A and B are shown apart, each in its own frame.
Chain A
Amino acid sequence: MDVAIKTIGLTKQYGSFVALEPLNIEVKKGEILGYLGPNGAGKTTTIRSMLGLIKPTGGRAEIFGIDTQANKVEAHKHIAYIPGESTFWPNLTGAETLYLLGRINGAVDNKYMAELIKRFQFDVSKKVRAYSKGNRQKINIIAALMTKADLLIMDEPTTGLDPIMEQAFKECVMEAKANGQTVFLSSHILEEVEALCDRIGILRSGKLVELGTLSEMRHLAALTVQATFENKPPKVDHIKGVSGIKVVGHQLTCQVQGSIDPLFSALVAAHPKTLLSREPSLEELFLSLYGEEEVRNKDQVS
């Protein structure tokens, strides 16, 4: 079986509000899929429906071919889940909590657990209520990684972690990938997603609007061009495909979609001091998608 996750028309409605429109997505075994979207887009809803914590109003999800609604327990044997935050029993210590979660899970790699505890500098002797937010999140991370499950589902896993721990987390995910584990990673930290993910899905208002590799998406998106001049920059707003023009002093920044020839000719003709063009970062891609949304909202209001 080389498909780890498969959703078939997975839908969730709360009353008449559609939190997740029919979602069809396939994640291959060994792949890391980034799952992005603005607040309230439906990422957590997707994950909780896949896990069977909430009941989808339509469609279904399969984990390694096992239906997650009909056969939750079997499906969960393949899954480790890292929520963005969770409530642990305040009176149990970190060690007790990890022991308990391991027992419930069944198989645990104890050596790896000890290594994880060391790597994340986690003090297991404290009671849960005495942990700081980031330290509490480490329980989630360690408990999930120590199972070496076939599929890791993560919903903002690094909430509250400091940059060093975030780095440690990234390394662990790389290791998991090297192990052949599959990862479904929902996150707002785009730099993390950019560094780790093979493919990226972008969700907006419950609809999957983009799905592909980063380079595929870049082709769709605009190129950023930046040029500085001795004097005032030339006017470029009449050129086809150019948008987002910003002029600061003698510097001009803009985006261009489609052919870049006309823009380049115009800029070169004005004798630029420097001329820079680069592919958009994931952040810029993401922001451009947000931008569209904002424009759409404005249209609706007026």
Chain B
Amino acid sequence: MSATTNAVPSTAKFLRSPRTAVGRFVAKHTARSSLILGMILVFYMISKASTYLVAYPTEAARQKIAESLGTNVGIEALLGAAHHIDTVSGYVTWNFLCLITAVGAIWALLITTKTFRGEEDAGRWELFLAGQTTARRAASNALAGLASGLVIVYTICFLGLLGISRFNGAYFTLSACLFFALALTAGAAEFMAIGFLASQLMPTRSRAAGLSAVIFGVFYMIRLTADSTSAHWLLNVSPLGWIERLQPMYNSQPIWLLPIGGFVLVLSGLAIWLAGRRDLGDGIVADKDTAKPHTRFLRSPFGVALRLNRAVILGWLIAVISIAYIYGELTKSAAQIVQSTTVESVFSRLAQAAHTQAVLAFLGFTLFFIMLVVMFYVASAVGRMRDDEAKGYLDNFLVRPVSRNRWLLGRIFLMTTVVVIACLLGGLSTWAGEATQHGGVTFHTLLLAGVNIMAPVLLILGIGIFSFGVMPRLTSVITFAAIGWSFLITMLGSGVSLNHWLLDTSLFHHVALVPAVGANWTTSGILVVLGLIFGLIGVLRFNTRDLRGE
């Protein structure tokens, strides 16, 4: 026992200057995830830049790739408008900026709501606030802690760019690197401010994260519409668009840093002010604390899961429907631009077919994107299921006559149903959007495309259940990593050839981009069977293991 007295030096460290204790606590907890994020980004940037330089060493080759990529609306919708991609600078800007902005923004909103609301919901903030600090000071302190994470990401990105500038053929100036790194982290900064404000407004962590995610969705959609239609002015409306307006590397417009900086400052200031005006553990948007009993769903563990998750599920379905519909609507205009060119690279590689009709290729890409969204639903749903165990809700069932299988299979059934519905709705809404523009692709084709994306999503579900059974504390991490890895490999592999063993580890590599190419039901069958095997192992392990807290 005497050894434990030596194991608590951190308290003393935090007590040394209690006024900044919160900031240091948050900084310490953010540092690791900032480091990981920075490393992933740099890995992506360096591999992407080096493969471009190797694959397209000459002006002519770059010109050719620029022609095929630059007119592809589907890719522009994802990566933003392409400018000067026949140069290294233009190409890396186009490939890095929107993608890294989106990844950084999602990271920022998750970590911010976790730090501000999550810690508070868990009752850990009280320990600090009971000490020598006020709510406002603690909040601004914590924000400073988070900002230090941002500095880490910025520094790593900057160093990564500096590394790239050493490559043969890429000559980035020091100031260009400094500015580009700033542009790359601007999205994270914006969404830290948004997540911070949402944390003050909403009464729980999940609602704060939900609100921030909705805001992200709206900003992203505006940006997407601006880049894939003629309404380019829309870029000025979305804070994510402002980042694109920075045009680092090829035509820097530092003036756009002003609205970005102003946005961050105003939101943070507002949030700090609100922090002092609300009670701990409550939001500005207060909830009623009493309610009439509604018992319709409260008859079984499954019913409870349905009742408590229905709003979230609805949110995901709406997201899928709107994304699918918007992309569907874009199909025709996209196809008209692409008509004369052969669609190559990014999604011809995804589709594993070099020459295909433009409309179908674009739709294949759309369904791929929808699949990605449904996969994210699965990963978050599996994470919530694990949360039920970690927080102790599951105990309430298992100490009563409820078997572990009844609970788990109910959850799996719920998630599977949502996946099937989401995929079908994805196909249907794409068709609906496309039909308004008379694109001419049949209902049947797109319904089938919706069915086609179910198999890979179910495999992700299987992997999620597997990790829940075998390594419960890593459930979310493993599931998101499976998606992230596949995405990373696919993005890296587009446009250049990658070792096929490596490509094979990406789940997406095995997805036929229906309707761009024909469905491969054998592969789909194999994916489903794999998912079943993973899921089964997870279920069996869950039945015999200890319940584990956080």
Show the binding face of A for B, using Cβ within 8 Å. Answer: 48, 51-55, 72-74, 76-77, 79, 81, 83, 86-93, 95-96, 99-101, 103-106, 124-127, 129-130, 297, 301
Chain B residues near A77 (CB-CB < 8 A): 401
Chain B residues near A48 (CB-CB < 8 A): 547
A76 contacts B298, C-beta separation under 8 Å: no
B293 contacts A93, C-beta separation under 8 Å: yes
Chain B residues near A89 (CB-CB < 8 A): 304, 308, 393
Q: Which residue of B lies closest to A40 (CB)?
A: B1
Q: For residue B290, give the distance in angstroms from its CB to the closest CB of chain A.
A: 5
B392 contacts A126, C-beta separation under 8 Å: no
B291 contacts A127, C-beta separation under 8 Å: yes
CB within 8 A of A99: which of B291, B293, B393, B547? B293
B398 contacts A96, C-beta separation under 8 Å: no
B399 contacts A76, C-beta separation under 8 Å: yes
Q: Which residue of B lies closest to A105 (CB)?
A: B400
**Any A CB within 8 A of the CB of B126:** no
B398 contacts A53, C-beta separation under 8 Å: yes
Most chain B CB inside 10 Å of its own CB: which residue of A88, A91, A301: A91
Show the binding face of B for A, using Cβ within 8 Å. Answer: 1-2, 204, 287-295, 298-301, 304, 308, 391-393, 395-404, 544-547
B294 contacts A101, C-beta separation under 8 Å: no
Q: For residue A147, give the distance in angstroms from its CB to the closest CB of chain B.
A: 9
CB within 8 A of A127: which of B290, B294, B392, B402? B290
Q: For residue A69, give the distance in angstroms from its CB to the closest CB of chain B.
A: 9
Most chain B CB inside 10 Å of its own CB: which residue of A48, A104, A124, A127: A104
B393 contacts A297, C-beta separation under 8 Å: no
Q: Could you list 19 examples of A-B contacts with CB < 8 Å?
A: A52-B398, A54-B547, A55-B545, A72-B398, A72-B403, A83-B399, A88-B393, A90-B204, A93-B290, A99-B298, A100-B295, A103-B299, A104-B301, A106-B401, A124-B293, A126-B290, A127-B290, A127-B291, A130-B290
Q: How far is the CA of A95 from the CA of B298 in the complex (A)?
A: 11
Q: How far is the CA of A48 from the CA of B399 in the complex (A)?
A: 9
Known: A54-B547, A87-B393. A95 touches B293 (CB 8 A): yes
Q: Which residue of A lies closest to B1 (CB)?
A: A297
Chain A residues near B546 (CB-CB < 8 A): 53-55
Q: Which residue of A lies closest to B288 (CB)?
A: A127
Q: For residue B419, give the distance in angstroms from its CB to the closest CB of chain A.
A: 24
Q: How far is the CA of A126 from the CA of B289 in the complex (A)?
A: 6
Chain B residues near A79 (CB-CB < 8 A): 399
Q: How far is the CA of A111 from the CA of B238 in the complex (A)?
A: 59
Q: For residue A59, give the distance in angstroms from its CB to the closest CB of chain B.
A: 16
B291 contacts A93, C-beta separation under 8 Å: yes
Q: How far is the CA of A51 from the CA of B396 in the complex (A)?
A: 12
CB within 8 A of A100: which of B288, B291, B304? B304
B396 contacts A88, C-beta separation under 8 Å: yes
B289 contacts A53, C-beta separation under 8 Å: no
Chain A residues near B295 (CB-CB < 8 A): 96, 99-100
Chain A residues near B403 (CB-CB < 8 A): 72-73
A53 contacts B547, C-beta separation under 8 Å: yes
Q: How far is the CA of A127 from the CA of B286 in the complex (A)?
A: 13
Q: How far is the CA of A181 from the CA of B291 in the complex (A)?
A: 35
Known pairs A104-B301, A125-B292, A127-B289 / 4 extra A-B pairs, C-beta < 8 Å: A73-B403, A103-B298, A105-B400, A129-B289
Chain A residues near B308 (CB-CB < 8 A): 89, 91
Q: Which residue of A lies closest to B308 (CB)?
A: A89
Chain A residues near B400 (CB-CB < 8 A): 76, 101, 104-105
Q: Which 7 A-B pairs have the closest CB atoms?
A: A87-B392, A130-B289, A54-B546, A100-B298, A95-B293, A81-B399, A76-B401
Most chain B CB inside 10 Å of its own CB: which residue of A92, A106, A301: A92
Q: For residue A12, give the distance in angstroms from its CB to the closest CB of chain B.
A: 9
Known: A89-B308, A93-B291. A101 touches B396 (CB 8 A): yes
Chain A residues near B287 (CB-CB < 8 A): 127
Q: How far is the CA of A34 from the CA of B370 in the complex (A)?
A: 58
Q: For residue B219, give the distance in angstroms from its CB to the closest CB of chain A.
A: 29
CB within 8 A of B396: which of A52, A73, A86? A86
Q: How far is the CA of A124 from the CA of B292 in the complex (A)?
A: 10
Chain B residues near A54 (CB-CB < 8 A): 546-547
Q: How far is the CA of A301 from the CA of B5 in the complex (A)?
A: 14
Q: For residue B511, give the distance in angstroms from its CB to the closest CB of chain A.
A: 37
Most chain A CB inside 10 Å of its own CB: which residue of B391, B396, B547: B396
Chain A residues near B291 (CB-CB < 8 A): 93, 125, 127
B298 contacts A51, C-beta separation under 8 Å: no
Q: How far is the CA of A73 from the CA of B543 in the complex (A)?
A: 13
Chain A residues near B392 (CB-CB < 8 A): 86-87
Q: Which residue of B lies closest to A297 (CB)?
A: B1
